[in-house]
Amino acid sequence: QVQLQESGPGLVKPSQTLSLTCTVSGGSITTNYYFWTWIRQPPGKGLEWIGFIKYEGSTFYSPSLKSRTSISRDTSKNQFTLQLSSVTPEDTAVYYCARRDRQGWDTLVYDYWGQGTQVTVSS
CB 110 within 8 A of CB 99: yes
Other CB atoms within 10 Å distance of the CB of residue 10: 8
The model's pLDDT over 74-116, given as tens digits with 9 standing for 90+, comes to 999 999 999 999 999 999 999 999 999 999 889 999 999 999 9
* Residue closest to 47 by CA, chosen among 98, 6, 81, 11: 98
111 Cβ partners below 8 Å, 6+ apart?
A: 2, 99, 100, 101, 103
| Share of residues in the chain with pLDDT > 70 (%) | 100
What pLDDT does 113 receive?
A: 98
What pLDDT does 15 receive?
A: 98
The model's pLDDT over 23-47, given as tens digits with 9 standing for 90+, comes to 999 999 999 999 999 999 999 999 9
State mean pLDDT over 52-56. Answer: 98
State the chain's mean pLDDT as an integer.
97
The model's pLDDT over 14-27, given as tens digits with 9 standing for 90+, comes to 999 999 999 999 99
